[in-house]
Chains A and B, each alone.
Chain A
Amino acid sequence: MDFELNRENAMVRSAIRDWVTKECTREVVGELDEKGDFPAKLFKKLGKLGFSGMIVPEAYEGEGRNILGACLVVEELAYAYPALASCYMSPTFFGGAIISELGSEQQKGQYLSDIARKSTVTSLAFSEPDDADAEIILTTAENKEGGYIINGEKAYVSLADQAGLLIVLARTSDADGDDLTLFCVDAKAAGIAVQPVETMGYRGANACNISFKDVRVTSADILGGEEKLGQGRQQLLSINDMVHLAYAASAIGMAQGAFDYALQHAKQREQFGQVIGRFPAIGHMLSDVACKIEAARLMVYKAAWMADQEKSCSKEIYMARCMGAEIAVKSAMDGLQVLGGYGYTMEYDIQRYVRDSVALFSSGKSLDSLKEQIGASYGIA
């Protein structure tokens, strides 16, 4: 056993932490959040640090397979600016990790170098209107003239308005048995219309509605190549591992960010002649949060370590993801209570953690459906 980060990842953490301290100041983040625009400048600067290829093989100009390292980057970004963490997850986890693992040779050649070098924003177009959990897929990909024609509506797709690549889940009627298929679709293809939706938090990393009208793709655009027709449901399992590990990492970053912010206030604010942190009603509330952050972080690191070792770790990832969401929200909500009236004003940052953290209830999937997966690993679902 060894709970220390290896040298490489210790350097990754220190580099991203320094960068976040310098670039994601509370003034900068506060202003970006208020505007709600995509943080293009920061994202570009972040790309130059070279962390986007963390889960891209060296043959494609990436770092190989450093999933824990990528989680550390997500965590540190989410500490100060959760929406930017989401922007980073998009090329790194949704693009790099997924294409590296499931892409065909042609797709790897087409996308991975750009992902590693240019941080191609990659969006997962699975959910549909009124169906955030993608329970019933109505979008169709019809086999015609040697290719496929996609029609339908997708919803709640993070960053689709900035995407270069969309991974689209569609119903393919001519497949045997399971008839869902994943396609790699150029986000700028004709027939695609993207509409951002205004949300409570994660401002800057917009959730979008997408409409597909006669969007043409070839059979080579099926994720993993032609032979993966109809295997979307199977592929989603490993995609979900990467997606939810990233969200879990984001959760512990947010939780720590909110906690540190509240702690600082509890150490400074005086009422009844002493700093409020000395009242057990406040101090113990913070201690409780700190315990759970510690537990959640260890769960995330362990799951990431298992993923790096190519061990099967879906259960561990989902556990970390559920625990992470719970503690991120608790840390933010309790932090707000610690800050009292001040915490409720937009001038203080804790309200942003409240708005952002709640997205973890629904990012990618609901916690209930994740618990269902955990249950499945015990043979009870």
Chain B
Amino acid sequence: MPGPDGPPHDLPRLIEVLNRHEVQYLIVGGAAAYAYGAERPTEDADCVVLRQRANLARLAGALRELHARLRVGRMTDAEARALPVQIDATLLDLAGMSTWMTDAGPFDVLAGLEAADGRLVPYEELAERAVAIRGDGLVIKVAGLDDIIVAKERAGRLKDRDALPELHALRDRRRTSG
């Protein structure tokens, strides 16, 4: 079965394009956990976006600039490029969670993060607890560590469960030192 091939992660380019298109987003998942000091390698650059129509239109513009194509499990990147996918706000609105391959590597768009009670926590709420990675004139919003941990606890996948002890330790260390 073909796997999801394609370009490797090029986050400087991905972030530059998202920021230039003024997309409101924040980084979540393993990429965000890495920013807090997690050492487990992650697979994806996951983000949660503000799901207002105008923001989805800006995201669509960024994805088109990056020649985004859907990642489809049983298709190669070359085959996925040939799919007649017209990226616009309507398409992004109808996809709950969309997985893309872009010229800047893989990129996943989530509707939100799951809370302890199973509710989907949207961008607006996550942004209140988000923090920033800074450098070289860039500000990159990252979901709060507690939100990341709860989402991984709820996801229940093996790779998420495996990541939890380290994330709990990072949180506990912070509480102890704070």
Q: Do A and B come from one complex?
A: no
> Which A residues form the contact surface with B (CB < 8 A)?
none
> Which B residues form the contact surface with A (CB < 8 A)?
none
